[in-house]
Chains A and B, each alone.
Chain A
Amino acid sequence: MQTFDWKKYLIVLLITSGLFFTAIYLTNYFSNRKIDQLKLIQDQISTSILSSETEFSLLSELSCKNVSNVALSDQLDELGSKLEWGQENLGMTAEVLNLKKYYSLLEIKDYLLMKRISARCGVKSAFILYFYTTAENCTLCDQESIVLATLRSKYPELRVYSFDYGIDLSAVKAMLNIYKIKDTALPALVVGDDVLTGFHSLEELEKVVTDAFKLQEVKPETTNKAEDKAVKP
């Protein structure tokens, strides 16, 4: 008769479970650290936006000279890509969802502020509002995101604000209403005053954007100048 030791099987089961729980604990620990990191970036951006707004309100009546065009775009981009990664790898938890809502709000605030600065001070800037969906498998959205990323790398002064159509946030819903965007027509882009729906290739979009540029240009000679510091006196 073979020896057979139930106790050993049980002990091994306990140790194995222990190893598994440790692994899960470590994973949670690192996930939380990442979420904290995201929160920190958001707080920084939020402070920067508030500071710019305040600065603008204080000085706009007098002169545009002192208004620095705050380059938040890179920071927002970084946050956006980290959030996207988090959504894929940490799962769409309540925390990640909240962070995403906050991110959308920051985007809108940045957008409004930039618009005011460019309108009042005649700063050349180009904005694209981009609406996509994660609710269903949207291959065209994936492709459009890649096109926009490529476009951004070609025109650093271009600002792209991306919004998840399905996000439960009244500010985003208000924008959807303003531009009359339906979920059947995603991806959707707002360039200047035009609403473009469906997929648009790089060439198409490039043309639209450069046209929109010219409309906003106050003085043609600033076209080739780097835009970050170009503030009209």
Chain B
Amino acid sequence: MDAISTTIFYVLMFLSVYVQVFFLITFLENRKKIVTRSGSISLSRYPAVTIIVPSFNEEKTIYRTVRSVLDLNYPKDKLKVFLIDDGSTDGTWNAISKFGKNKNIKLFRKENGGKYTALNLGLQNTETDFIGCLDADSFVHPEALSRIMSYFGKNPSTMAVVPSVTVHQPKGIIQNAQKAEYEMGVYLKKMLSFIGAIDVTPGPFTIFKKKVFDDLGPYRHAHNTEDMEIAYRMQKNHYKIEHCNDAYVYTNTPHTIPKLFRQRLRWIYGFINNTFDYKEILFSRKHGNFSLFTLPARAISVVSVAYIFGSMIYSIGNFIYSKIIQVQASGFHLGGNAFKFDFFFLDFQASIFISLAIYAIMIFSVIFGRKMASGKWSFPFEALYFFVVFLLIAPFWVLKAFYNTILARTPAWR
């Protein structure tokens, strides 16, 4: 039993290192291609774009969301905004009605049917060649749209461009942990973009060519992760997705553990089930790095987290057991033997060195992600929060997602 678990442990470690090294090599190959612009740019052509803002009970944040869209540095006559109230029960409709007079803005109100139905209502009414969505809890940087559109201008085969999503005004350990995670996400997304293997087109401000939906059909329910499913569908049909690292979107992230738990449960559940729905393209050479790298890499991370949790429980159990035996045998004896530090008892297992290597590469990716997302070099102290928070609670949502998948229960949005 021990030999089997050790083998699984080292296989998972090997695969995790493989994934990290793969990203690192991709970075070294492409580092000169990473451009981070700081000022405004002018495009030779400004195609018309529709931005859909679906909302459900988001009266508190939607005003700022819409303001940020209206403040985009993009010709006003080329920008259409659809505000869609998906049957909110709070003051969302009142909040968006204030924008009714603006001729670029169109308001829609429908019965609640889920985010994908709101997006599809927007798609049906879209007349422009480019279309994007902005979640009502996120805000865009004024230059985000023109920087994204420059990618479409450069490469006509590009069908979608995803932005760099970062955390809006992080407070506390939970949000700062996510800040580091999102910054690492910026780095990873850029690397996936270089190898043509992006697996999520995030709800906050991914811009698509309308042709994508004309050819492939509208959004689907997709286990409440419609932004993942559409990316899978595009990859399956060889539609190019790029990442514009200097198009910034700031999103409100969960600030409590239960909320973070529910969000991640939805993501992991979505990953497991969407991957299952698209299992025919897994390991298919025809679908390139997406099938051979991105999907397996995500699966490895999910399995590793579950495994780490299992072994953590096992070690804690072992520790408690040995303590029980000790108490049974001789009762409580505190400080019987003074602890004497001896270098001899430091453990130098191979796994320690490998873990250190993994952590080092991860810290590196947070540093570069931050550089790409903010243009600044600084040491990401938040990464320490990230390791603590995610190591402690990630296993729970992963296991719950497996559990829900087996029982086929779709997790709620909130």
Contacts and interface: CB of A to CB of B under 8 A. Distances in A.
B124 interface: no
A222 interface: no
A179 interface: no
Contact of A12 (B21, B238, B325, B350): B21
A178 interface: no
A23 B350 contact: yes
A202 B277 CA distance: 62
A11 B344 contact: no
Contact of B289 (A3, A15, A24): A3
Interface size classification for chain A: 35 or more
Contacts of B238: 1-2
Contacts of B287: 2
A144 B289 contact: no
A202 B330 contact: yes
Contacts of A146: 325-326, 329-330
A16 B14 contact: yes
Contacts of B196: 2-3
B289 A20 contact: no
Interface string B339-358: 00000110111110110010
A9 B292 CA distance: 10
A12 B289 contact: no
Contacts of B292: 4, 9
Interface centre among B287, B330, B354 (most CB of A within 10 A): B330
Interface string B285-315: 1111110100000000000000000000000
Given A19-B354, A27-B353, A89-B347, A12 B18 contact: yes
Contacts of A143: 325, 328-329
Contact of A150 (B325, B333, B347): B333
Given A2-B238, A2-B287, A153-B336, A20 B328 contact: no
Nearest to B293: A9
A140 B238 CA distance: 64
Contacts of B329: 142-144, 146-147, 150, 201-202
B34 interface: no
A37 B342 CA distance: 12
A147 B330 contact: yes
Given A23-B350, A27-B349, A13 B289 contact: no
Interface string A78-101: 000010010001000000000000
B331 A23 contact: no
A20 B21 CA distance: 12
Interface centre among B18, B285, B329 (most CB of A within 10 A): B329
A11 B348 contact: no
A12 B195 contact: no
Given A12-B18, A146-B325, A31 B348 contact: yes
A85 B344 CA distance: 9
A24 B336 contact: no
B17 interface: yes
A4 B285 contact: yes
A139 B14 CA distance: 35
Contacts of A149: 330, 336-337
A146 B337 CA distance: 12
Nearest to A29: B348
A196 B380 CA distance: 61
Nearest to A139: B325
Contact of B288 (A4, A12, A85): A4
A213 B18 CA distance: 63
A8 interface: yes
B22 interface: yes
Given A16-B18, A143-B329, A23 B357 contact: yes
A92 to B, nearest CB: 13
A169 B102 CA distance: 94
Of all A-B residue pairs in the complex, the 6 with the closest CB atoms, nearest first, are A2-B288, A30-B348, A23-B353, A143-B329, A150-B330, A146-B329
25 contacts: A1-B286, A2-B289, A4-B285, A4-B288, A8-B25, A9-B22, A12-B22, A12-B25, A16-B18, A16-B21, A19-B17, A20-B350, A20-B354, A26-B353, A27-B349, A27-B353, A31-B348, A85-B345, A89-B349, A142-B322, A142-B329, A146-B325, A146-B326, A146-B330, A153-B336
Given A12-B18, A27-B350, A150-B336, 11 more contacts: A1-B238, A2-B238, A2-B287, A3-B196, A4-B288, A4-B289, A8-B22, A12-B25, A85-B344, A89-B347, A153-B337
